[in-house]
Amino acid sequence: MDVDKPLAGITVIELGHSVAAPYAGLILADLGARVIKVENPKSGDYARGWGPPFWNGTASVFHSLNRGKEGITVDFGAAEDCERLKSLILNEADAVIQNLRPGILDKFGLTADALSAAKPSLIWCDIGAFGAKGPLASKPGYDPLAQASTGIMSVTGEGGRPPVRVGVSLVDMGSGMWAVIGMLAALVARNKGGQGRSVATSLYETGLAWMTVPLAGYAASGEVRKPYGSGTAEIAPYQAFEASDGWLMIAAGNDNLFSKLCVALSLEALAHDPDFATNAARVVNRERLIPQIAAAVRKYTADALGGILDGAGVPNAPLLTTDQVAEHPQTRALDMMVRCAGDDIDLVGVPLAFDGTRPRARTAAPALGQHNAILRKPASKGAINAN
């Protein structure tokens, strides 16, 4: 097995659209799995139209989430198409990942129970909106709805201002990651016992997981913390400060780092002030502390202060824009952005390396129905119940 393709030989059917299931499929494809994406023959994945910008007629969003996959179209209203898909799953697939609307697959007999009864080794991964049970189980959902309903938006942005969502689809993409983690665990278990299993996650559960620290704080204190912009409720100073020509994130995450920061900014008196001697004290007295640090920071350019803090051993980083990140030498050094064969757009890879090699699928995102011949091929994995 290739070191950079640990999932070589595994076939996954992706019944997904938008972000969550496609991101799960992307991870699996980069890890070497064969991922077959199923789309509606009329409209395809919604993400194909999420632009501008577009690249070769398809939204860049779609390209970023679907490279390395094969693509087929299935009309669920056509019995013949459903049977072909069912045969493909039973004869070819190790796993299915799906994030379709609750109940939509039931009417076509394409459910975990039905398919696992015919193929006990099958692993089925559901990515739902609000979870499999509870009063919101049937409610449709998207990333911003999960950010709103799990409290993420309540701790994001600045107090007293309109709510702000995190600017990337972290709940969708996090749900895709949890689906992959669950599928990999199920594969390990299947290798031991031969049986597949059903794996489930949801946007709501993922949002709750990202709220682990704020929810623990509420459980401990009963206090509902306000958002602190670039900062965090539990640590100070741990936020972005405005220099003379830009912004610098400064993370003095412990008492020793705070002392070093004070020396670097010629604020030694703060380091000896009992009101700021410990992180707990600094959090309580944040409103008096932060303005003093901010005034000192404004005397420097971001680059100059970054160099001073680096020399003092204080963690810091400039706030970069998307274009600056794309062209940053560290981004390039890590080989995170690579072009696919037959395409010329730089797309981000998975943040993993095996023995120093980053796994990466090298084919472009499929055109709608590009690999429909798969549905007409004879089975290649043998008996339906084979592992």
Helix axes 212-221, 203-210, angle to 10 degrees: 60
Burial 55-83 (b: 16+ CB within 10 A, else e): beebbbbbbbbbbbbbbbbbebeeeebbe
What is d(CA 246, CA 242) in angstroms, rounded to the nearest whole number? 6
User: What angle (nearest 5°) sits at the alpha carbon of residue 125, between those of residues 123 and 129?
Assistant: 170
Between β-strands 316-318 and 247-251, what pairing exists: parallel, antiparallel or unpaired?
Answer: antiparallel
CB 127 within 8 A of CB 97: yes
30, 75, 172, 255: which one is catalytic? 172
CB 25 within 8 A of CB 34: no
- Please indicate whether residue 143 is annotated as part of the active site: no
What is d(CA 322, CA 267) in angstroms, rounded to the nearest whole number? 34
Instruction: Using only the alpha carbons of the chain, give its radius of gyration.
Output: 25
CB 203 within 8 A of CB 172: yes
Residue type, 105: L
Instruction: Give me the active site residues, please.
Output: 172
